[in-house]
Amino acid sequence: MEKIVAGQIKSYDPPTIKAFIEKGFQETGLSITGRVLVKPNLLSGKAPERAVTTHPVFLSALIELLKDHSCTVCLGDSPGYESLERVLKAGQYTDMLTHLGVTIVPFTKDVIKRIDGVSPYHEFLFGEDPGQYDHIINVPKLKTHGMMGMTLAVKNTFGFVRGFAKGRWHLRAGIDRALFASILVDIHSIAMPSVNILDGILGMSGNGPSNGAPSELGIIALSRNGLALDDLIEQRLCPGAEHPVTECARMNGLLTPYEVVDLGMPSVPSFAMPPSCATDWNLPSPLKKALRAIMVKKPKGNPKNCRLCGICVRVCPSHAVSIRNDTLHFDYSACIRCYCCQEMCPHDAIRV
Ligand code: SF4
Ligand code: SF4
């Protein structure tokens, strides 16, 4: 049976984090050696206290431990719209990674990966080949997500898809969260992390994944199985909400029973989910489409915060955002409610 080791760490104290991860490796029978690729959440260049990205101290503790295990450590991701170099600098990672001798890997290759999985698609273009490494170590940040409810271990491996190519998958899935969830599950299966280590010490609630409220949750969790880890966190933090990714895994027989080694993981009864709305009603297609257009929350601009930088225009996969006469416009008939605009806006100027 899969094991999840879950605990409480109240602050970014390197020895405590390192000790927890070592304990997690022991409990789950993991032996990590060789060439490893660490895949954090590096969505955009934000300071650690914004809780958008995996905390640099969390990563340094993990990397030190991997070095103790004589691993050769690489680290990479494909940020939303900025270069990896810029994200690392803004997030205060660069000096630490240089000091620890980590090889930086921007996910900018064109690697075709094939799978006969749970989505209707069988070919995915990755920015890096996970098969080149002895181990993939997935290090997600615990955050809310406007479209998918939460972003945890499975959603974090979507970062293997190159920057703007992510938008193409949003466009294909459109407003169908179940379809997008199946795409995420397939991508996660291809990436196949050896272990998933969740940074929820400082997580994000509310209007995530970029502009929510940083929340001192004190949660850390580790599992070889990302689907199980996501399910545990969702059940503990927001059991009443819809979780399309784990639902997809459950329906396809991928979410198997698991054992929790609970080292004191806190409960967070007041955890705030994003104000999104379910879209997967069991109705005939035309009716469903019409209802979705009315009922699914629309992204809305906040002119007070908007600096007209144009990032939302660039990332919108359905070209539904434009800037005219120094004002942001949404074409809601084209909008597929993927919330990429809200996710990528650096100035908290889009709400759902
Ligand atoms: S809404 Fe955000 S991303 Fe879009 S133009 Fe304004 S500041 Fe830039
Ligand atoms: S306007 Fe925003 S929510 Fe709508 S399709 Fe574009 S990026 Fe997605």
For the stretch 23-76, pLDDT in tens is: 999 999 999 999 999 999 999 999 999 999 999 999 999 999 999 999 999 999
Going by CA atoms, what residue is nearest to atom 2 of ligand 1? Answer: 345
Res 21: pLDDT: 98
Going from the Cα of 82 to the center of ligand 1, the distance in angstroms, rounded, reads 14
Return the ∠ at Cα 201 (arms to 258 and 56), rounded to 5°: 115
Is pTM, for the whole model, over 0.85?
yes
Per residue in 321-345, is it b (16+ CB within 10 Å) or e — as a string?
beeeeeebebeeeebbbbbbbbbbb
Going by CA atoms, what residue is nearest to atom 6 of ligand 1? Answer: 306
Q: Is the CB of 312 under 6 A from ligand 1?
A: yes
Return the ∠ at Cα 20 (arms to 14 and 26), rounded to 5°: 135
Res 33: pLDDT: 96
> Which ligand sits closest to the CA of 170?
2
Residues with CB under 6 A from ligand 2: 299, 316, 318, 320-321, 330, 335-341
Going from the Cα of 310 to the center of ligand 1, the distance in angstroms, rounded, reads 6
Which domains can be identified in the chain, with CATH numbers? 2-263 (3.40.50.11440), 285-351 (3.30.70.20)
Res 293: pLDDT: 64
> Which ligand sits closest to the CA of 175?
2
Which residue type is seen at 338? C
Q: Which atom of ligand 1 is nearest to the CA of 301?
A: 1
Q: Which atom of ligand 2 is nearest to the CA of 321?
A: 1
Q: Which atom of ligand 1 is nearest to the CA of 321?
A: 4
- Report mean pLDDT in 10-residue bins for the chain, 352 residues: 96 98 98 97 96 98 98 96 95 98 97 97 97 98 94 98 88 90 98 98 94 96 98 95 95 97 94 70 58 76 96 94 96 92 93 88
Whether the Cβ atoms of residue 34 and residue 24 lie closer than 8 Å to each other? no
Going by CA atoms, what residue is nearest to atom 6 of ligand 2? Answer: 316
Going by CA atoms, what residue is nearest to atom 4 of ligand 1? Answer: 312
Res 284: pLDDT: 58
Q: Is the CB of 315 under 6 A from ligand 1?
A: no
> Which ligand sits closest to the CA of 173?
2
Is the alpha carbon torsion for 78, 349, 144, 276 positive or negative? negative
